[in-house]
Structure 1
Amino acid sequence: MTTSSDHLIDNCAFPNDCLYDLENLIWIKFVNEVDRREDDSKEFLIGITPVYSYITGKINNLKVKPIGSLIERNKSIGSVESIIHFGTIRSPLKGKIIEINEKVINNPKIVNDSPFGNGWIARIKTINDHVVSDSIKKMEDCKDDLLAQIKKYHVKCFKLFPDFQMFEIGTECSATLAKLDEFMVKSMQKDQVIRLVSDDPTADLELLRWAEQKQQEIVEILKENNKTYAASGNHSSNYLFNIIIRKKVN
């Protein structure tokens, strides 16, 4: 969910009150809770950006070093893992881990669904100094760089990160719906999410009717230019529909 404090870049929301380590695809946010501090040091939350989340895919394992661990700048605080990717989470500042978000340890997909909200990974207390290094930037200074990363990695941001994906290009919607029905019954559990990509020009209307009949939830429908078909002159398939569906009924 986007808020007034978010900057929207190609449907990906980036909070303005975070700082961004573009090299490591990390964000940090300083938190000023005076009652938690014993000295003049600062604390910050750390997490991964939607770009890192998309590259990784659905996260099925997240590890963080124990509370009390001392972290050097640009060194690992933990790792994320999916069936297609293993990556390191690096802190752009030196500090000590003072809190771990146990919710994301127990359910790593929260990081995919809400990378800046409930998906924060750890709270770190800075040591010695907390001067912002050249490696991390404010939103106003890195908007173009974030857009370039989104384009480079072909990132798609949705309200819910899909557990499954189904690409039905050149397939009539009736056949797609039959395949979707079968897949949801056989392979999906309640509240899991699937991304359906279709170039059928009636896909959005047909899926809305289907969801009402089947009592399933259409979370989001995003329409984008289908550059391949637009270039070929096939005007009936100038668009791709990204349809995010959550299973509500078994």
Structure 2
Amino acid sequence: MTLPNLLIDNCLFPNDYLYDLENLIWIKSLNNTTNNQTNVPKEFLIGITPIYAYITGKINNLKVKPIGSVIERNKSIGSVESLVHFGTIRSPLRGKIVEINESAVDNPKIVNDSPFGNGWIARLVSFNDYDYANSVKKMEDCKDDLLAQIRKYHVKCFRLFPDFQMFEIGTECSATLAKLDEFMEKSMQKGQVIRLVSDDPTADLELLRWADQNHQEIVEILKEKNKAYSGSENNGNKYLFNIIIRKKVD
């Protein structure tokens, strides 16, 4: 029986991937699962989890070692860098790089937007060295660990990773929309994405109306409990809205 993919706080983890929890890395076998011959080269895709992508922030530089490089287990295959973070991508298996995701190298934010899909890092051929089995886990065996990491790092997963963020807590939606208009006009380019966080109870409806009038795109609206809410009308609202907006027109 095929297990369903795992959804944790809007973060989707595929069931057919293996997870290196220590290094926040995934690998996916590209071989026929019925082929268990040890003398047959095995190929894997390797990438980073959404947890790593969130910790790093918007990735503006992805470096991967050249094709043909032999990577030892738990050694660097490359690195990711943002304005606030530099991190090493460590391979959980020993192998040779046979392909690099050049699209991700040219546009590193793809890794943020689609860490399990278009944002894969490299394809490796293994050397019949299957010690990696001790350092990776199937999804069903590490659900609790993934949840713990999401809680630890306060991870938020969205359909598109934001280029910018705007937190408007305790602000009426009309004032928030005025700030949003000004920011998008002055600071954002077409195609860029902003995350707006608001505790205004009408934020979702107002933003949908605003987007329709201004020909902008609401990518996603996520509603969550406001942890700062104390139950008093004078202490904020019960829910927060995370609204992901992509600029479609200048």
Q: TM-score, normalised by structure 1?
A: 0.93
CA drift of 1:5 comes to: 4.8
1:139-166 CA distances to partner (integer Å, 9 max, x unpaired)? 0000010000000000000010001000
1:7 corresponds to: 6
1:222 corresponds to: 222
Alignment of 1:169-248 (within 5 A): 169-230=169-230, 234=234, 237-248=237-248
SS of the residue 2:179 aligns to: helix
2:23 corresponds to: 24
CA drift of 1:7 comes to: 1.4
CA distance in 1, matches of 2:90, 2:231: 41
CA drift of 1:93 comes to: 0.5
CA drift of 1:135 comes to: 1.2
Residue 91 (str. 1) matches residue 91 (str. 2): yes
What code does the residue aligned with 1:206 have? E
Alignment of 1:134-153 (within 5 A): 134-153=134-153
1:53 corresponds to: 53
CA distance in 1, matches of 2:7, 2:230: 26
Structure 2: unaligned runs, 5 residues or longer: 34-38
CA drift of 1:230 comes to: 3.4
Runs of 4+ in 1 over 6 A off after TM superposition: none
What code does the residue aligned with 1:98 have? V
CA drift of 1:33 comes to: 7.0
What code does the residue aligned with 2:24 have? L
| 8 A Cα contact 1:42 1:130, kept in partner | no
1:157 corresponds to: 157
Q: What value does the CA root-mean-square deviation take over the aligned residues?
A: 1.6
1:191-213 CA distances to partner (integer Å, 9 max, x unpaired)? 11000000111111110110011
What code does the residue aligned with 1:229 have? Y
2:249 corresponds to: 249
Residue 41 (str. 1) matches residue 41 (str. 2): yes
SS of the residue 1:13 aligns to: strand
1:109 corresponds to: 109
The size of the alignment, in residue pairs, is 243
Q: Taking every aligned residue pair, what percent have the same amino acid on both sides?
A: 79
SS of the residue 1:16 aligns to: coil
| 8 A Cα contact 1:201 1:236, kept in partner | no
SS of the residue 2:230 aligns to: helix
CA distance in 2, matches of 1:234, 1:52: 37
What code does the residue aligned with 2:164 have? F
